[in-house]
Structure 1
Amino acid sequence: MRAASNSLVILQSGNTKTRHHVAWPEDMKLNPDLWAEVFLKLPVKTLVRVRDVCKSWRSIIDSPDFITEHCEQFKKNSDKNQLLLVERTGPLRLKYSGKVIRVVNKLTFEEIRQITKVSEKCKIWDVFDGLFLYQDYDATIYTSLKIWNPSVGKSWRLPDPPRPLPRLLGQGDDKLVLGFDPSSKDYKVIGFRRNDGVSVKKLSSEIAVYSGINRLWKIKTVEVNEPFSYFAVLQHQHHFCQGAAHWIVSDGARNDGGFEYTHVLSFDFGIEEFRCVELPGMEMFKCLFVFGKSLAVFGISAESSRIWIMGEDVGEVVGEKQWILCFEGGSSLDAYNFFKEYKFARITYDEYTGEFFVVVSTNSETKLMSYNITSQRIMAFVTVVGNRTCCADSYVESLVTF
């Protein structure tokens, strides 16, 4: 038998960690593929420690393919019950006012862990795959953009966007979105702004794109679908899936003066272009959510409700045939009015229970509501009084570096 090899292995069970020196014969070592399977089941904090055991383990854990797969695995398990809250610690007018970023249980609002404390004026643009895109506020101006991964304890400063987009730092009329291009495995930041000098609020055809691989900004001219693009990008929270950010929008074409969402506006992080897809079906109130790895639409009226799934390859302009009807059920006037009342709220769906979760945050309170598509039952899980400034629907720890 070959000589034994000693390695330090750190095992974690709940909140207890133990360190063991393990000796095994050379011919009993696992090959890299099997080690990767083992590592995929470990949480981020454990992997940060075990990557220092040997060069081969570090090579596996640091590989882009492993990082992507590990993030996807943990999304399946943690996305469904973890909610990210940003909460003020004091009144805005007081000097000591700040924000606490913490992860809570989606069903109970009980704290799972506190991530950090930041100043009141710290601007959090986006949270994606465990990465925070944010800006600090120093005296009278916002500082440069930063990417931060609290799970690995690292942050990265981004260079300032080039002209003609100097306003992209801390301005209310701009929008920054963090996303991922699966074809190149590149994390990117996309900056949109309002077109200057026009009476109608339109989205500028010039966008700023930052590549995490190239470490550079570039200015790109894109074709913009109007009249709803700017309003959609600025006002609505996006849903990210299939390598694109998606917003639900309205073309404002109703003759009776009412309001109805009519299209999905998407920005593809691979080709860095917009595309527009008409929403499916009949006149219903509609909202977007992510179903597995696909974009989905929930439609509801006072009489019925439906769920459609979007095909993976929708192209630039597609018809209704690209939407696949996967659920059709009953409804009620109460349920219809419930979704209309919270039309700007972030909505998530639990595939196992058939529950929609609606998180509504105002300056005075945060409410967690649910709706069951089978029983048409509306429930208020909890109402928390306080000054919550923003909510994200989910949070996942990751090994992603920028």
Structure 2
Amino acid sequence: MSDYFLFLPGDVLIDILARLPLKTLVRCTSVCKSWYSLLTNPSFITKHLNLNRSPSNNYNELLLVRSYTSRDDGDEQEHYSLRFDDNGMFLEYQELDLPLKSYCNHYFRIIGSCNGLICLSDDQFMYIPGIFLWNPSIRKVLPLNPLPITFKSHGPYTHTIGFGFDSITDDYKVVRIVRLQFVRKSEIDIFSLSTGTWRNISHVALPHITIDEKAPQAYLNGAAHWIASSLRGHRGLIGHGSLIVSFHMGHEEFGEIMLSNRIMVHSNYLMMPNYPYFRVDKFQESLAVILFSGCSEDNTCRVWVMKEYGVTESWTQQFNIDMTQTFNTLAGFTRKGELLLATSDGYLVAHDPQAGRSTHLFIRGTTHSIYRYSFYADAYTESLVLLGNRFCDTGTSEES
């Protein structure tokens, strides 16, 4: 190490290092023990993340994209990549190497992405053998095993998983809501990255609420959100009704967000035996609901956005996309509000409905109907989270 750094005040050195690119910092962990200790400190990792997300720092706005090619396409493999999301061309920034192999399923279900971490679950088609936290930027994987509830320990069940950041304690958490079939009750367990352990919080469950099995989540405002059903019905009426349930990662409490009457009319597709999807998502830092019937009578994808969080009257229909010929599914959104759509021939495009213009990302996935929703797209920010974590699988780390 240069003698120059020996005379720098500690806070100045930290400020300099926090502004360096991520890959440079990973290499810097090998300089000396004191630098390794500094760079793997949670407070430094948070400082680096915040500085790199600052608009004044000109950080790369990235898009995480997952596609899948099946055997019918000549290959059976998951493909992950980061794309630039700030120039309209969506050029490839980095191809990612997933250091895991799905044991029971053909590909992992992506629970969510937050601050450079991706939460994966191997439960797409069968009972779950594992949940993982993956930081592809530093090539670290953390298995969240052993799980408190498995088929072997409790028998048949259905479950829903959420992932997000607890800003109160500067921690990352995974919540798992399990409905046991034979005892007809829910068990709720939460994993904390800071401790590397699961704990049971079943006492916080909402009464008379059922979250859909493997429901996709939308993480924003410190909470995970899912589509759910209530035995009380809409606005407290007796009967079944759809709503959004939230789980705040910091307070570890559930909440309810009601849908507007106009959304409820279209959500009747939820009662169909094979409805394609009715799910939540995030649209430009706002909560959104996506409804797609997929039937010949109404092959329209509707996107509703909650303009003011928590205010039922602020639900606004943002998009109304005809999916009859060109498009197949909606995979996500760009930061600028474009729709990322899978075409009927298996390619991913960014579509601007106002301009009527589509940009080809030249990413191909399978056209097999079983994997119709294998495309995944979400905003991504590089980070050092998991660097130096003692619970990580070190066999997947770059320094190994």
Q: TM-score range by the shorter chain?
A: 0.5 to 0.7
Choose the corresponding residue for 1:336, options 293, 300, 320.
320
Residue 338 of structure 1 and its aligned partner are, at CA, apart by 5.1
Q: What is the letter of the counterpart of residue 289 of structure 1?
A: K
Residue 266 of structure 1 and its aligned partner are, at CA, apart by 1.0
SS at match of 2:206: coil
Distance 1:195 1:61, change over 3 A: same
The answer to whether residue 371 in structure 2 is matched with residue 390 in structure 1 is no
Residue 391 of structure 1 and its aligned partner are, at CA, apart by 1.0
What is the root-mean-square deviation in Å for CA atoms of aligned residues?
Answer: 4.5
Q: Deviations over 1:349-397 (max 9, x none)?
A: 63xxxx412223478514333347xxx3332212654328231312222
The answer to whether residue 134 in structure 2 is matched with residue 153 in structure 1 is no
How many pairs align?
Answer: 332
Residues 72-221 of structure 1 mapped to structure 2, 5 A cutoff:
72-75=50-53, 80-88=61-69, 90-91=70-71, 97-106=76-85, 107-116=88-97, 119=101, 121-126=106-111, 127-134=113-120, 143-163=129-149, 165-166=150-151, 173-196=158-181, 205-221=186-202
Measured in 1, the distance between the counterparts of 2:324 and 2:220 equals 24
Structure-2 residue corresponding to 1:19: none
Q: Which moved more, 1:206-215 or 1:146-155?
A: 146-155
Unpaired runs of at least 5, structure 2: 235-240, 267-278, 291-303, 390-400
Measured in 2, the distance between the counterparts of 1:363 and 1:160 equals 40
Measured in 1, the distance between the counterparts of 2:137 and 2:381 equals 9
Contact between 1:79 and 1:395, CA under 8 Å: does it hold in 2?
Answer: no
Structure-2 residue corresponding to 1:314: none
Choose the corresponding residue for 1:269, options 249, 271, 283.
249
Structure-2 residue corresponding to 1:315: none
Measured in 2, the distance between the counterparts of 1:185 and 1:340 equals 45
Q: What is the letter of the counterpart of residue 95 of structure 2?
A: Q
Distance 1:167 1:33, change over 3 A: farther
SS at match of 1:193: strand
Q: Deviations over 1:127-181 (max 9, x none)?
A: 43323334679xx986443333232233233322224x44799x99433333221
Q: What is the letter of the counterpart of residue 162 of structure 1?
A: P
Contact between 1:99 and 1:119, CA under 8 Å: does it hold in 2?
Answer: no
Residue 264 of structure 1 and its aligned partner are, at CA, apart by 3.7
What TM-score comes out, normalization by structure 1 length? 0.65
Measured in 2, the distance between the counterparts of 1:93 and 1:298 equals 32
Choose the corresponding residue for 2:22, options 24, 30, 44.
44
Residue 306 of structure 1 and its aligned partner are, at CA, apart by 7.8
Measured in 1, the distance between the counterparts of 2:49 and 2:153 equals 29
Q: What is the letter of the counterpart of residue 359 of structure 2?
A: F
Measured in 1, the distance between the counterparts of 2:132 and 2:175 equals 14
Q: Deviations over 1:312-336 (max 9, x none)?
A: xxxxxx7659x7x9xx9x98xxx53
Residues 350-361 of structure 1 mapped to structure 2, 5 A cutoff:
350=335, 355-361=336-342
Choose the corresponding residue for 2:206, options 214, 217, 224.
224
SS at match of 2:385: coil
What TM-score comes out, normalization by structure 2 length? 0.65
Structure-1 residue corresponding to 2:220: 241
Measured in 2, the distance between the counterparts of 1:360 and 1:391 equals 10
Which of these two proteins has the greater Rg computed from alpha carbons? 1
Identity of aligned residues (%): 22
Residue 35 of structure 1 and its aligned partner are, at CA, apart by 2.5
Distance 1:160 1:381, change over 3 A: same
